[in-house]
Amino acid sequence: MSLIAERELPIRTRGETDWHGLSVSVDSAEGAQQKPASEDAMASDNQSQAVRQTVDGELIHWARPVRELRVSDVPQGAINLNVDGSVVVSPLQGFGALWQKTYRAHLNGLAISPAAVMQTWKEHFPEFQPAENRFFPPLSGIEPGAVVLINGKVPPAPGLPSLLPVAGGVLVLYADETSFTVMTHEGFPEAGWNTFSTYEENGHTVAQVQTLARAADPIYEFWFRFLGSSAQQDKTWTHVLTALANYVGGREVHLETHKVLLDPTLQWGQAKAIWRNAGVRTMLYLLGEPVRWAERSVRAELAKRMG
């Protein structure tokens, strides 16, 4: 079974900066000014200037390359765990089988443009999530370079409620008027991208979520294959699309789900990523909270007596 997505991640192949497997162009006017001028460069200035202007226009939609993720302002109620100091990872750094999963909502009978639906989606992204997923975008919203903290829960086994906590986040890699793409970090359940897009098809707007990712380590792969994480993922994105459709007034909503196994190979060389497993680290962090609370209480009492 093959599937050609209506909207593809706008990957650039020119340039030297590597997003851990994703090669993107990062030429900019600022970078060009830092390079010493040469006679050859000046001779071809007219041609190169035109190229730089085109690239600069597109770069406003891309996040700047970073070595490590940093969250400067943590929204109230969010747990900033497993994100600071981590690096983003592509499917090349994942462990499990490579899947492309596509979820679509056809908004039939609704006179609203793809751009308007996307604007609503970005502005209310956390509200459209199921109760077990809490998304915390920065005050600036969904824009290139933003880090969205995620405090979620997953079921311990098929048919059980979501009980096991996982704290992490995603980087907004790309965003324009009708799409945005987020990239996961090391330790997150999946290594890869999620692209959210809207487009017109046969006179109506379609909202789509498309993932291209591998389970990040052997624990996550086992969970996806046998313990319900794959079904939980399906439930999450169909919930998001249904909530979006209801918010914009969709009455005739047709949902689609397509899954394509692109590579069944397990990448055992990436099994070491288990050390960064965000689920395990989140559980250990929460189990240690009583100890931290006791330490804080003792320090406060000592400071009170000494003061």
pLDDT 10s digits, 10-60: 333 223 334 434 433 323 333 333 333 343 433 334 333 333 334 455 689
Write down the pLDDT at residue 12. 32
User: In this structure, are 96 and 54 located in the same domain?
Assistant: no
User: In this structure, are 39 and 118 located in the same domain?
Assistant: no
Residue 38 lies in a domain: yes
291: pLDDT strictly greater than 50: yes
User: In this structure, are 49 and 103 located in the same domain?
Assistant: no
Final residue of a structural domain among 13, 35, 59: 59
User: In this structure, are 50 and 103 located in the same domain?
Assistant: no
User: In this structure, are 49 and 144 located in the same domain?
Assistant: no
User: In this structure, are 49 and 178 located in the same domain?
Assistant: no
Task: Work out the percent of the chain whose per-residue pLDDT is above 90.
Answer: 61
Residue 5 lies in a domain: no
Q: Say which residue, 283 or 180, is predicted with more confidence.
A: 180
Mean pLDDT, range 283-290, rounded to an integer: 87
Read off the CATH number of the domain in which 111 is found. Answer: 3.30.530.20
Residue 99 lies in a domain: yes
Residue 68 lies in a domain: no
Select from 233, 241, 142, 247 the least CA-distant residue to 189. Answer: 233
Residue 294 lies in a domain: no
Residue 77 lies in a domain: no
Q: What pTM does this model have?
A: 0.79
Residue 103 lies in a domain: yes
pLDDT 10s digits, 138-187: 989 999 999 999 999 988 888 888 889 999 999 999 999 999 999 999 99
Residue 69 lies in a domain: no
Final residue of a structural domain among 19, 39, 59: 59
pLDDT 10s digits, 75-101: 888 888 999 999 999 999 999 999 999
Pairing mode, strands 147-154 and 22-23: unpaired
Q: How many domains, the chain? A: 2
Select from 80, 134, 147, 70 the least CA-distant residue to 285. Answer: 80
Q: Say which residue, 4 or 173, is predicted with more confidence.
A: 173
User: In this structure, are 172 and 36 located in the same domain?
Assistant: no
User: In this structure, are 219 and 162 located in the same domain?
Assistant: yes
User: In this structure, are 253 and 116 located in the same domain?
Assistant: yes
pLDDT 10s digits, 46-82: 333 333 334 455 689 999 998 899 988 888 888 889 9
User: In this structure, are 100 and 244 located in the same domain?
Assistant: yes
Q: Are 150 and 169 in contact (CB under 8 A)?
A: yes
- Domain region containing 125: 91-285
User: In this structure, are 35 and 172 located in the same domain?
Assistant: no
User: In this structure, are 100 and 162 located in the same domain?
Assistant: yes
Mean pLDDT, range 134-140, rounded to an integer: 93
